[in-house]
Amino acid sequence: MSLTESFRRRTAPQLHVGNKFRSLPKSARWSIGAIIIAACYFTPYWPDVPVLGWIVDTPGTSFENVLTDQIMMFILVALGLNVVVGFAGLLDLGYVGFYAVGAYTTAVMTSGQFSWPWIAAMPLSILMAMIAGVVLGTPTLRLRGDYLAIVTLGFGEIIRITANNSDWLGGPRGINKIARPPSFGPFEFSVLNAKPYWYLGFTVILIVIFVLTRLENSRVGRAWAAVREDEDAAELMGVNTFKFKLWAFAIGAAIGGLAGALYASKVGFVNPDNFQLQLSILFLAAVVLGGTGSMYGVIMGGILVAWIPERFRGFDTRRYFVFGVVLVLVMVFRPQGIIPRRTAAAGISGKEESE
C-alpha cells in the first residue's frame, strides 16, 4: 500500500459547460459542432481577427507555421499518447520513438532512391510505427508502472541513436528533399503557403478524434478502463490485459507515426536531433496538462505546450523558465488537467486513477 493510494481520492471538478452541451437537443449540438469545426478550419486566419488575433499571434515567428509545424503535431501526438497513458493507464516516456519511426519512414521512402509519393508513404509510416509499438510492447508490457516508463524512455533513445549511427538513414546529417502531399483542388502544398497543411492536418485530427471516440466507448475502451483502474481485478475478471495493453500501444504508436509522416513532409527535413528525449517529456506534459484521458483536454494540452513558448518569444531566454513555472502552477491548482476526464466515461467508478 503506497502513500498515494492511501490518500483520499478526489473527484474532478466538473465543467458545467460540457454537461449543458450534452443536454441540448441533437440538432443544436450538431450545429454548434459544425460551427466550431468550421471556425477551426479558419485557424490560420485567426491572427487577422481583432482581439483574438492579439491573443493567439506569435511574435517573431509565423503563426501559420507554428500552427502546422508544432501545434498540429502536438495535438495529434497528444491524442495518440493519450490512448496509451490516458485510456490504458500505461506510462510511456519514449513516445517520440514512434514519431521518429513515422517521420523516418516517410523520409526514406519519398526521398532519394525510392521516391514514393507521399500518399503512398504515409500508410507505410503508420504501419511501421504500429510494428514498432508491437515490437516494443511485446517484451515490456508485462512490466508495471514506472518500470515501463524507464524502458520506453530507453526505447525512444535507442531509435534516435540508431538513426544517428545508420548511414542509410542519413546518420547525423539527416534526410532532406522529402515529398509533399499531392495538391488537391485549389490547395497546393507549397513552400510559402502552410495553410493546406492545416486543412489536411485538421481533417486528420477530426478523423482520429472520431475513431478514438468510437474506440473509447467500445468493448476495447471498457477493457482499457478496467486495466487502468485495477489491472489485477481486470485479469481476474477474464480480461486479457496483455492483449489490450498491446492494442493501446499499437494504436497510440500508429497515431504517433501518422504525426511523424506529416511532420517530415511539412518541414521537408528530418535528422536525429529532432527526436530528442526532451520531446517525449513535452508530449507527456501536453497530455497531463490538458487532462489525462480526456480527449478535448489533451488537445488543449497539446495546443498550449506547443504554443506557449512561441507566444512568449518576447521573454527571450526566460521563456522556458516561465514555461516550467506555468507547468508547476497548473499542476498545483488543477492536478486533473485543464479539462479533466469525465469520470462517468470511465464506466467503472467515480474514482480517479491513482496508478
Partner 1 sequence: MRDWLIYRTFWDLTVSGVALGLIYALVALGYTMVYGVLRLINFAHSEIFMVGTFGVLISLTQVFGINLFEDGEYPYRSGIVLVLILLGSTVAAMVVSGAGAVVLERTAYRPLRGAGDTFGAVVLAFLTGLIASFLFTDSMMTNLMIAAVITGPLAVVYVRIFRKGRQAPRLAFLISAIGASMAMAEAVATWGPDERVVYKTPRVLEKKVLFNFFGADVRIDYVIVAFGAILMMTALLLFVNRTRLGRGIRAVAQDAETARILGVNVNSVILVTFLLGGAMAGGAAMMFTLVYDQTRFNIGFLLGVKSFTAAVLGGIGNIKGALLGGIVLGLAENYGSSIFGGQWKDVIAFIVLLVVLMFRPTGILGESLGKARV
Partner 2 sequence: MKKSNLLRAGAVLVSLSFVVTACGGSDDAASDTTAPAATTCESPVASIALQFPETGDAANLGAPMLKGATLAINEFNAANPDACVTLKTFDTQGDPAKAPGVAQSVIDDATILGLIGPGFSGESLAALPLYDEAGLATITGSATNATIQDQGFKVFHRILANDAVQGPAVAKYIAETLKPASVGIIDDASDYGKGLADAVKAAAGKSVVATDSIDPKAADFSAAVSKMKDANPEVIFFGGYYGEAAKLSTQLRDAGVESTLVFGDGVKDQAGYADAAGPAAEGALIACPCKDGSADFAAAWQAANNEVPGTYGAEYYDAANVLLNIIKAGAKDRAAVLAAVKAYDAPGITKQIKFTANGEATEASTIYMYKVTDGKITYVADIK
Write out the residues near partner 1 by the rule CB under 8 A: 1-10, 85, 91, 139-140, 142-144, 146-147, 149-151, 153-155, 157-158, 161-162, 164-165, 277-278, 281, 284-285, 288-289, 292, 315, 317-318, 320-329, 331-333, 335-337, 352-355
Provide the minimum distance between the beta carbon of 234 and partner 1 in the complex, in angstroms, as a whole number. Answer: 18
CB contact at 8 A, 272 and 164: yes
CB contact at 8 A, 92 and 152: yes
Dist. CA 336–CA 215, nearest whole Å: 22
x/- mask, partner 2, residues 72-111, rule CB under 8 A, reads ----------------------------------------
Binding partner of residue 10 among partner 2, partner 1, none, CB cut-off 5 to 8 Å per kind? partner 1
Provide the minimum distance between the beta carbon of 243 and partner 2 in the complex, in angstroms, as a whole number. Answer: 35
Phi-psi region of 24 (alpha: psi -120 to 50; beta: other; left: phi over 0): beta
Nearer to partner 2, 126 or 163 (CB): 163
112 binds partner 2 (CB under 8 A): no
CB contact at 8 A, 92 and 85: yes
Distance of CA 329 to the CA centre of its chain: 22
Nearer to partner 2, 267 or 281 (CB): 267
Dist. CA 73–CA 306, nearest whole Å: 9
Provide the minimum distance between the beta carbon of 355 and partner 2 in the complex, in angstroms, as a whole number. Answer: 25
Binding partner of residue 219 among partner 1, partner 2, none, CB cut-off 5 to 8 Å per kind? none
Residue from the set 142, 144, 173, 351 that interacts with partner 2 by CB under 8 A? 173
Binding partner of residue 177 among partner 1, partner 2, none, CB cut-off 5 to 8 Å per kind? partner 2
353 binds partner 2 (CB under 8 A): no
Task: Give DSSP secondary structure letters for 257-286.
Answer: HHHHHHHHHHHSEE-GGGG-HHHHHHHHHH
Residues sharing a CB contact under 8 Å with residue 103, sequence separation 6 or more, in sequence order: 125, 260, 261, 263, 264, 270, 274, 275
Burial of 90: CB neighbours in 10 Å, binned 0-12, 13-18, 19+: buried
252 binds partner 2 (CB under 8 A): no
Grid coordinates belonging to 25: 437537443
Residue from the set 126, 130, 179, 194 that interacts with partner 2 by CB under 8 A? 194
Dist. CA 294–CA 209, nearest whole Å: 11
322 binds partner 2 (CB under 8 A): yes
Provide the minimum distance between the beta carbon of 190 and partner 2 in the complex, in angstroms, as a whole number. Answer: 7
60 binds partner 2 (CB under 8 A): yes
Dist. CA 11–CA 18, nearest whole Å: 16
265 binds partner 2 (CB under 8 A): no
CA angle 143, 144, 148 (to 5 degrees): 65
* Count of residues in the chain: 355
CB contact at 8 A, 290 and 339: yes
**Residues lying near partner 2 in the complex (CB under 8 A):** 13, 54-55, 58-62, 64-66, 69-70, 164-165, 171-174, 176-177, 190-192, 194, 263, 266-271, 273-274, 308, 310-317, 319-320, 322, 326, 329-330, 333-334
